[in-house]
Amino acid sequence: MHKNTNIISKINPLLHIFRRDVVYNIYFCKNKAYMSYSEIETHPFPPFLPSNAKILMLGTFPPQPSRWSMEFYYPNKINDMWRIMGIIFFDDKNHFWNEHSKSFKLEEIKSFLNEKGIALYDTGVKIRRLKGNASDKFLEIVEPINLNYVLEIRPSISAIITAGEKAAQTLSDLTGTVCPKVGMSVTFSFNELDIHHYRLPSSSRAYPLSLENKAVEYSRIFSMEGYEVFKKNI
């Protein structure tokens, strides 16, 4: 990248030049052109697919490794997905948080997901970060999830939850459905079975909704799909 990165980062790219494995962004500042590039990233985690999976939760793509607190989905310690799950199922936002190590309790999370039949993956298998951050707005999905494969090997999945606008739109593009509004759902058919696609708020703190209200939205959907949740969160 050009050495004037502070200048470049404040200017929107005006042109993209694509190669097979790299996207070059051309920036213009004071009549001078600067170039940066983004390589294709492949998803670092395999899909987490319990044999009894009933719900598949799909985000977009993990943040950069420097922001991980564990090698698993929603690894950023300031992402609230595991706090939302703690509120819904244990009435405790810190149920999956280890205060001593300042990290999430990975093995407890995996045991919980296996017990409840909750699968995890993302809509992006290969992506480019057009601005070098984790924002969906500047994320280009190069290769989306192979949804047919996932649903073939886990035919027990009857509902999909997408967290965030890009995840919801990507799934809708794959299923040929209208992208639902936040808190709403659409239905599509796979192998003659109806599958509900629920769009819920992003668990990122950048999304303008309180943790408690996000938990209410998620709790409502899990309850509708037959999960036992704390009623006060519905």
33 and 122: one domain? Answer: no
Q: How far apart are CA 44 and CA 39, in angstroms?
A: 14
Residues 26 and 82 in one domain: no
Q: pLDDT tens digits for the chain (234 residues)?
A: 333 333 223 333 333 333 444 545 544 444 554 444 568 999 999 999 999 999 999 999 999 999 999 999 999 999 999 999 999 999 999 999 999 999 999 999 999 999 999 999 999 999 998 876 667 778 899 999 999 999 999 999 999 999 999 999 999 999 999 999 999 999 999 999 999 999 999 999 989 999 999 999 999 999 999 999 986 666
How high is the pLDDT of residue 57? 98
Beta bridge partners of 38: 23
CA of 107: how far to CAs of 71, 97, 103, 160, in Å?
11, 11, 12, 23
Structural domain of 86? 42-233
For residue 227, report the phi and psi dihedrals to the nearest 5 degrees.
Answer: -90, 145
Q: Are residues 90 and 12 in the same domain?
A: no
Q: Do 108 and 146 fall into the same domain?
A: yes
What is the count of structural domains for the chain?
A: 2
User: Same domain for 118 and 221?
Assistant: yes
Task: With 0.85 as the threshold, say if the pTM is over it.
Answer: no
d(CA 35, CA 166): 26
| Residue 71 and residue 22 share a domain | no
**Quick one: pLDDT at residue 136?**
74
Cβ atoms of 96 and 109 within 8 Å: the answer is: yes
pLDDT at 39: 87
